[in-house]
Every structure is written in structure tokens, then in C-alpha cells.
Structure 1
Amino acid sequence: MVKEGEEKKRVVLTNPLTLDGDSSVDYGAPNLLQRILSLFKNVGTGSDLTSFQLPAMFNFPKSQLQCFGESVYCVGNDMVSSINKMESPVERFTCVVAWSISTLRPVMFGLAPYNPILGETHHVSNANLNVLLEQVSHHPPVSALHATDQDQNVEMLWCQHPLPKFRGAWVETEVHGKRQLKLHNHRETYEMNSPKLLIRFLPVPGVDWVGNVKIKCPETGLEAELCYRANSFLWRRKNYRAIKGKIYQSSSSNILYEIDGHWDRTVTLKDMNSGKTRVIYNATEVLSGLKTPTVKDLEAVWGSESAAVWSEVNQAILSKDWEKATEAKTDVEKKQREVLKGRESVGETWVPKHFKVTCSMEGSWDCSPIHKWVPPAPIVIPL
């Protein structure tokens, strides 16, 4: 657990993930696939990998908490404001579908972000959108996100619980937890889930977002079903990062629109009444020219901030000093174990600072923010 009263470390921020991956790191380790497979030689098929620790040479300089947050605050245009301005429920819903697609980022094969430590936070502002994340559980790993825009009267509530499992030739990660986008001016709540992340080693190495996503708005009765398709072994361009789906009225199951395209390029919407097709999402427009966050007020940065917790590891990886990166990462993990041991010795139960957390008997997690509005952050996206 991170304590905010601790001495602050320096803050090392890195480029956001883009359509081309993280260009801030030129990683070219020899025999990469063999080295990755060697990590799993003693891991059984079907094993839960949530406690699996990667060596630093397999990390890129960013916490998973930051990757999670970037999908909300690192965008080329303000899609959420556009949603809020739409006049009809159907128009808003189609824009929500496009926004949901925009939260995906390409993942680099062979590299992964750090597993956040308990109590780690990430707090960033992009104009009027203030985003706060907290790692509310370490085993199992659970991340909570709360984002608000008071001017637009918009709120996002996400709870993410990834469950990676080793399947022999691939690792499959189910991302449990619901995501909500609330448009308070329209009294509408949109609920959705996340696709799975598939890391394939053989026969062709690659990473895909796959599986089904359902988006629904209880107030309007509108629903959408999206299917993210895995790449074929032949790597045909038309199948690469493909997405298909539909938007329909839940009460009648009447299909209003068909969705087709590629989530890293363009996605189109076909009106089933008129037969007309239009583009609802252009990844190049949304995910190009993304700006790296900067520190506006260093003194206000919490010691629990991701970019502070992992600053030494970040700097070592950026310098390609793998020995130092390993030492720095080991130091972070060692301190976490020491804090846990000390807490257990006095029977202390850790409580998140920014969320109320509950877990059902079935293992379903729910995270509710303590405060109504997220305050402006000392780390900002440059205008």
C-alpha cells in the first residue's frame, strides 16, 4: 500500500499508447518468443496468472492503471461532449457505441505494463474532464475509475478485474467488471463490458481484442451487441481487428442499425430502414496526435501516483538499463510486501481512499466513488 505522507518520488511520464503502440520504447530483444515461452515452462494450462510477475525486460514504462486511464483521457477529440449534445436518444446511443470502440488501444506483443500496487492512484485532467483511478485490490487485481466533467454534467464509473489464464499456445484475459457512462442532463446511463485480450504465441505471435461486448441503456431500451474478431492465422487484412454488431430496441428486438468495420481504422453504421451507410468512428482521427501528460503542480502530486511509484523503473527502461530496471522494480515490490506484512502483524485492514468497494460471494466486484466530483489533477494533458 502507498501512503501519501511518504516522501514523494520524481515523476516520470511516458507517451500514451497509440495506433502504432508505444513508440517511446524501441524494444528489440533477441529470441523474444523463446524467452516469453520460457517464462511459462512451469505453468500449467488453465492456470490463473494474476499473481505472475514479469521480469522488467518484459515491461514497458507504464502501469496498467495508466493504460486504463489513458483510454478515457487520451483522445484526439472530445467524443463525450459530442454525445451529450445529440438531441435524440438514438443519436446519443450510436455515439456511445463509437466512444466505447475508442477506448480500445493496440497492445504490443511481448511487452506488458506493470501490475499496480495496492493503493496506487492515477489522477489526470484533460480540459474539464478529471479522471481518478485507484488500485483497490491487489490479489485479485481490481482497478476502479471515476471521471467527471462538471460543465457537461457527465460521469464515468468503471471497475476492472482482469483474469488472465495460460492456455498453452496463448494467454486469454477476461476483463470482468462493468463500465458506466452517465449523462446526467439526459438522465441516461449506459452500461457495457470489455472484450477479452488474447495473447497468441503459436503458430503466429500476436495480440487481439476478441469476444462480445454488450452496451445497453435501461432508460431508452436501446442495446448494442459488438463482436470483436481475432486475426486469422493467414493475417488477412480484411479480418485484422474486425468488428461487427448491431443496435436494436430491446422491447421488440427490432434491428435499427448494423455495425461493420475495423476498430483500428473505420467503423460504419448501416441504417436498416433507409439502407444508407455512414462512418461513426475513425480511429486515425481519435487516436492520432495524442499528447503526453505533463506535471502542472509537482507539489500536489500524490506519492501514490503511478508515475511516481514507478518513476525509477520507468527511467531505467527508457535508458535500456535492464539491470537497474530489475532492481528498481524489485524494490517497489519488496516495499509492498513489507507494508502488507506490517499491516497483517497488527490486524489492520486496508481501506481504499477514493472508493467504497464490495465483493459478492460470486466474486463480482463493485466500486462506488466516495466523492461526487473528481477534483482537477496536478497532471494534465497539454491544450
Structure 2
Amino acid sequence: MIKEAKVELNAVLTPPLSLESGSAADYRAPNLVQRVLSLFGNVRPGSDLSSFVVPPHFNLPKSHLQCFGESVYCIGDDLLHKCVAGKNPLERFVAVVAWSISTARPMIFGVAPFNPTLGETHHVSKGTLNVLLEQVSHRPPVTALHATDRRENVEIVWCQYAAPKFNGASVEVAVNGKRQMKLLTYGESYVLNSPKLFIRFFPVMGVDWVGNVTIQCEKSGLRAELCYGGSSFLGFRGNQRSVKGKIFNSASLKTIYEINGHWDRTITVRDVDNGKVTELYNAKDVISTLKTPMVKNPKGLWPSESAVVWNKVSQGILSKNWEKASEAKKYIEEREREMFRKRESKGETWIPKYFTLSYTKESGWECSPKQRWVPPAPIIVPSL
């Protein structure tokens, strides 16, 4: 059971990234394009940007923890219920594929969320779904997510660690780590990965999700292979936000469905046996007009809550008071460095509070939740 001191704290919560998130351009500082180019002026191609310090002019007023969590709890259509409601393994697998696609959200060129502090948390509920995230490592940055729904008997466990690299005209962010969705009623576990985030500076600026995603269920033997496409080098929109792929039996390799469409519009599945085409995913229903989370119980907020940790920086960005935002962000970053130096001088190792963190060369970083069920949160997502 999670226990934290009950202290009244201030939290700043902003609208989630959605199809309409272009309005978030209001967060950006003037002359942002020139600022972006100057920011990377002294960075060499191939450089690892995981510890790159970003001024608040380039930040969204929220942490990576919040953006990561939003992809699970900020959703229009109840795709989790559809996963559980499937009448057979194939129906449930198809629903999980649709849910996986829903986690891709439109990003905004030139601005990025805050890098979470070590031990930072984010705890939010939507209906009976309770979601908890914790920054379990800082060097390298590793984020853990645990979500449970007792009514639907669903558990989600993710471990995510991004590896951004600067390539001269672009930044490629590999989103590493294993993602699992467990439909406990059926004893089915679905393992999946994430596409890469591709940020292009030349010749046309933009942000896309690209690369290959696999989804598999060992119990049913079903597997999906998806390819996310971005716009061409010259900026043509032919493949922008496209998704193509198939669902097949991993034992026989027989294709059951072909997948085609765009993750920000609609995606269809075609039954290869009879040629019937049906809609798999509709972005307008799922990631459009999303509700902003709100604090239901201020006394239940933790000091480590992401929306509390960054509240002064977020306030400065929202009011375009860049001096206030810079001072608040500098304070947080210097405090982090001081705490790191103290642990290092004492030979102490950081131990996450809500997850067990492990690493192997074969599997990379993995996170296991310390509790069976995530409790209801003080922050909730209002009903649609």
C-alpha cells in the first residue's frame, strides 16, 4: 500500500497532447526556429543527447512522465474495455493492436517536456484505471509505469528509456524498453515495443513517429508487425504518420489481417481470406478533444508528484515569464546535481520507491512494480 505524507501542494496541469495540440504552440518563445538552430550549433553529429540541458524556452509545461502517462490515461474511446471484451484470442489481439496504436501522440516541433528528476512520480486515475509512474534512474534516464484496473482485470507494466542522438540535420530518439499488457482474466500477456521519434531540421522541419513495432502474445501465438512511416526527406507528406503491417500466426506464419492507414486519422484491417475491410482505429474518437486532468484531492498530492515538482517552471512558461521559468528550472537542476554528489560521496545507490529496477545485457533495463494494484490517485481525468 502506498503511503505518503498528506501535505497540501500546488500542481500545474495542462491539456494533454492530442490531435488539437497544435494550440500548444502558445507555449513557445518568440523566434523559436532560430533558437532551435542555435541550440544545436555546437553539438556534433552522433552525439548522445540524453543529458543535454534544455532552456525553458524549449519546454512544454509538463514532464516526460506526464506525457508518457497521458498516452495511457488520456484517451477518448475505451480501448482497454474492448481488449477485455473480445470473444476469442484473435478479437482480443486485434483490440490490443488498436490500443497500442493509440499510444502514439502528435508531438510539437521545437519544444520538449522536462527531463524528470530522480524519484519524480506521476499518479493519475481515470475511472477505475489507476496509473503510477516513477523516474527510477537518472543516468541513464529510465521511467517505469504501472497501471491497473480491477474492474477490467487489466495490468500494464512499462519500462521506458529514451536514447536521443543528433545526426546533423535531425535527432533520432530510440524509445527502448519492454511494454506489457496483461489481460488477467484470460492469462494473456502482450509484449510490445515503441516506434522511434524522428525530429527533422532540414530541409523541412517536423516531428514523426517512425520505425518498426512488434506485438506478440505467447499464449495465443499471434503476432503483429507494424511499420510507422514519416514524411520523405524532401518533406512530402505521402507516408507521414502512416502505419502498415500485418497480424499473423507465429507458428504457421500465415497472415490473418493486413493493416493500413494513418495513426492520426483512420487505420483499417483487411481479412486476407475474404477480403473484408473493417475499421481498426479512428484517431478522432481516441485522441481528439481530450480532457485535462484535475486535482480532486489536493491533500493527497505527494511532494514528488511531477505536476508539483515543476509547477513554478510551468507557471513561468504559461505566463511567458522566461526569467521566472529559468530561475525555477535552474534551482531544480542544481538541487538534483547536489543530491547526486552527496550520494556519490557516501557511496549510496538510489533505490526506487515503487519499482524494482534491474539490468541485463540481453534484456536491457526492466522494471517490476512492488505493489499488486495501483491505488486511486489524487489527480483524476474528468469523464467525457
User: What's the TM-score bracket when you normalise by the shorter of the two chains?
Assistant: over 0.9
Query: Are 1:230 and 2:225 matched, yes or no?
Result: no
Give the letter for the 2:340 counterpart: L
CA shift for structure 1 position 363: 7.5
- The 2-side partners of 1:53 and 1:347 are apart by 26
CA shift for structure 1 position 103: 0.5
Give the letter for the 1:131 counterpart: V
CA shift for structure 1 position 337: 1.3
Aligned twin of 1:44:
44
Once the two structures are overlaid, the 10-residue window that deviates more, 188-197 or 23-32, is: 23-32
Aligned twin of 2:181:
181
Q: What are the superposed Cα offsets for residues 294-317 of structure 1, whole Å, 9 maximum, x if unpaired?
A: 111111110000000000001110
- The 1-side partners of 2:134 and 2:292 are apart by 20
Give the letter for the 1:53 counterpart: V
Aligned twin of 1:345:
345
Once the two structures are overlaid, the 10-residue window that deviates more, 284-293 or 161-170, is: 284-293
Q: Secondary structure at the match of 2:175?
A: strand
CA shift for structure 1 position 334: 1.0
CA shift for structure 1 position 360: 1.4
In structure 2, the CA distance between the partners of 1:46 and 1:63, relative to structure 1 (3 Å rule), is: same
CA shift for structure 1 position 381: 0.7
In structure 2, the CA distance between the partners of 1:98 and 1:172, relative to structure 1 (3 Å rule), is: same
TM-score, scaled to structure 1: 0.96
Aligned twin of 1:58:
58
Q: What are the superposed Cα offsets for residues 126-152 of structure 1, whole Å, 9 maximum, x if unpaired?
A: 000000000000011100000000111
Q: Secondary structure at the match of 2:23?
A: coil
Conserved 8 A contact 1:179-1:193: yes
Conserved 8 A contact 1:173-1:198: yes
Alignment of 1:17-36 (within 5 A): 17-21=17-21, 23-27=23-27, 29-36=29-36
- The 2-side partners of 1:148 and 1:117 are apart by 24
- The 1-side partners of 2:274 and 2:260 are apart by 16
Alignment of 1:199-210 (within 5 A): 199-210=199-210
Q: What are the superposed Cα offsets for residues 147-186 of structure 1, whole Å, 9 maximum, x if unpaired?
A: 0001111000000010000000000010110100000001
Query: Are 1:192 and 2:168 matched, yes or no?
Result: no
Aligned twin of 1:145:
145
Once the two structures are overlaid, the 10-residue window that deviates more, 233-242 or 274-283, is: 233-242
In structure 2, the CA distance between the partners of 1:28 and 1:353, relative to structure 1 (3 Å rule), is: closer
Give the letter for the 1:43 counterpart: V
Conserved 8 A contact 1:123-1:378: yes
Moved over 3 A (4+): 4-9, 27-31, 233-238
Query: Are 1:264 and 2:280 matched, yes or no?
Result: no
Give the letter for the 1:248 counterpart: F
Q: What are the superposed Cα offsets for residues 228-276 of structure 1, whole Å, 9 maximum, x if unpaired?
A: 0111245444422111000000001000010000000000000000101
Conserved 8 A contact 1:316-1:325: yes
- The 1-side partners of 2:310 and 2:22 are apart by 17
Conserved 8 A contact 1:16-1:22: no
Aligned twin of 1:131:
131
In structure 2, the CA distance between the partners of 1:361 and 1:8, relative to structure 1 (3 Å rule), is: farther
TM-score, scaled to structure 2: 0.96
Conserved 8 A contact 1:8-1:308: no
What is the number of equivalent residue pairs in this alignment?
381
Query: Are 1:68 and 2:73 matched, yes or no?
Result: no
- The 1-side partners of 2:350 and 2:79 are apart by 37
Alignment of 1:1-383 (within 5 A): 9-21=9-21, 23-27=23-27, 29-233=29-233, 235-361=235-361, 364-383=364-383
Give the letter for the 1:200 counterpart: R
Q: Secondary structure at the match of 2:26?
A: coil
- The 1-side partners of 2:279 and 2:6 are apart by 50
Conserved 8 A contact 2:27-2:317: no
CA shift for structure 1 position 339: 1.6
- The 1-side partners of 2:40 and 2:9 are apart by 34
CA shift for structure 1 position 36: 1.1
Q: What are the superposed Cα offsets for residues 336-356 of structure 1, whole Å, 9 maximum, x if unpaired?
A: 112222222322221000000
- The 2-side partners of 1:187 and 1:122 are apart by 28
Conserved 8 A contact 2:266-2:283: yes
CA shift for structure 1 position 97: 0.6
Q: Secondary structure at the match of 1:239?
A: coil
CA RMSD across the alignment: 1.7
In structure 2, the CA distance between the partners of 1:214 and 1:356, relative to structure 1 (3 Å rule), is: same
- The 1-side partners of 2:33 and 2:130 are apart by 39
- The 1-side partners of 2:184 and 2:233 are apart by 45
Q: Secondary structure at the match of 1:225?
A: strand
Give the letter for the 1:269 counterpart: V
Q: Is there any run of 5+ residues in structure 1 with no aligned partner, and where?
A: none
In structure 2, the CA distance between the partners of 1:168 and 1:319, relative to structure 1 (3 Å rule), is: same
Q: Is there any run of 5+ residues in structure 2 with no aligned partner, and where?
A: none
- The 2-side partners of 1:27 and 1:149 are apart by 34
Conserved 8 A contact 1:241-1:264: yes
CA shift for structure 1 position 330: 0.5
Once the two structures are overlaid, the 10-residue window that deviates more, 30-39 or 89-98, is: 30-39
